[in-house]
Amino acid sequence: MYPKLIKTIGNLINIISYPFPYYAAKQAVKIFSTPRKGKLSDIESDYLNMAAQETTVYKDIAIKTYRWSGTKETILLAHGWESNAFRWKDLIEILKLEDYNIIALDAPAHGDSGSKIFNAVLYSECINLIIKQFKPSVVIGHSIGGTASALAINNYKLPVKKLVLLGAPSNFDEVIGNYVKIMGYNKKVVKAMNDYFVKHFGYLPAFYTIENFSKDIQSEGLIIHDKKDRIISYKDALHISKHYKNSRIIKTVGFGHGLKNEVVYNHILEFLNT
């Protein structure tokens, strides 16, 4: 969104919050949960159409998966916000050369999957379903895809041997806080949003932090995060590393939030082969 439009929408929701706080919160959460991009372009579709495709339904949401068959263990790839399975193209080609069995999914409201709404809890539930279907021994998640993967593995006690977190946030409260700051919401909207989250998800956003969703993760972890990540602070990686005991952290410099670089891919391959 353009800055002036963001300010206008934020001010409008602030005004609505006085007579109708629940409605204001509902609209604020809807904006937060609606991706503005991430659907497949023709070039992305052409590449993904070379994979074997399946659709799995979760709560009336069609979740598209792509599979590149290999004889070695199965790896699941989970992308982040406003992205899709194509973001893994370079890593997929590397893993194909190593003969891994590769599964990638499009999150709800992204790529070729259904739904107009996305949130990390919903994503984690979809990832749980896909893990149970394809039984990967390794999960690699980027950004919120990493956090949602960790949440799924922890909540459902999934038998995943290795988990790679790339530029992942350590808590949802900070992500929502950044959104509130960008939109300029007042305290009344923030309180109404918190009430909304409790009503619909059972917890405040602050509940979804690494302390609470890493306790039952037995998977060996690799955390890769760029020091100059402008989207998710490197402090998040340190926070994850502190509480995810069975993990190690690698700091990169200059690869940004995307972490699309051969150096990163080599770290992943080394982790897979140990």
CATH number at residue 120: 3.40.50.1820
* pLDDT per position as a tens digit, 12-48: 999 999 999 999 999 999 999 999 999 999 999 999 9
C-alpha span between 240 and 214 (Å, rounded): 9
Q: Are residues 131 and 157 in the same domain?
A: yes
Do residue 156 and residue 189 come from a single domain? no
Supply angle C-alpha 39, 163, 257, rounded to 5. 50
| Number of Cβ within a 10 Å radius of residue 102 | 26
Residue 3 sits in the same domain as residue 55: no
| Mean pLDDT (whole number) for 94-112 | 98
Residue 216, pLDDT score: 87
Asked whether residue 110 falls in the same domain as residue 224, the answer is: yes
- Do the Cβ atoms of 22 and 196 come closer than 8 Å? yes
Token readout for 177 is 């806080």
Whether residue 77 is found in the same domain as residue 2 = no
For residues 146 and 243, membership in a common domain is answered with yes
153 and 197 inside one domain? no
- Among residues 157, 190, 207, the one where a domain terminates is 207
Residues 162 and 186 in one domain: no
When the pLDDT of each residue in the chain is averaged and rounded to a whole number, the result is: 96
The predicted structure's pLDDT at residue 174? 86
- Mark whether 29 and 159 lie in a shared domain: no
Q: How far apart are CA 96 and CA 48, in angstroms?
A: 14
Q: Which of 187, 207, 227 is the last residue of a domain?
A: 207
pLDDT tens-digit map of 213-241? 888 899 999 999 999 999 999 999 999 99
Range of the domain at 12: 1-33+179-207
Cβ neighbours for 11, distance < 8 A, ≥ 6 positions apart? 184
d(CA 157, CA 183): 37
The DSSP code sequence of 37-52 is S-PPPHHHHHHHTTSE
Give the pLDDT confidence of 153-179 residue by residue, as tens digits: 999 999 999 999 999 999 988 889 999
Taking only the tens place, the pLDDT of each residue in 246-273 is 999 999 999 999 999 999 999 999 999 9
| % of the chain beyond a pLDDT of 70 | 100
Edge-to-edge strands of the sheet including 247-252?
52-58, 61-68, 101-105, 74-78, 138-142, 162-166, 220-226, 247-252
| Strand pairing report for 101-105 and 61-68 | antiparallel
Is residue 102 domain-shared with residue 226, that is, in the same domain?
yes
Instruction: Provide the 10 A C-beta neighbour count for residue 187.
Output: 10
Instruction: Kindly report the backbone phi and psi dihedral angles of residue 235, in degrees, each rounded to the nearest multiple of 5, phi listed first.
Output: -60, -30
What's the whole-model pTM score?
A: 0.95
The reply to whether 8 and 97 lie within a common domain is: no
pLDDT at 9: 95
Question: Considering its fold, how many domains does the chain have in total?
Answer: 2
Q: What is the DSSP letter of 216?
A: T
Domain shared by 142 and 263, yes or no: yes
Q: List strand residue ranges (DSSP E) for the chain, in order.
A: 52-58, 61-68, 74-78, 101-105, 138-142, 162-166, 220-226, 247-252
pLDDT computed for residue 1 by the predictor:
60
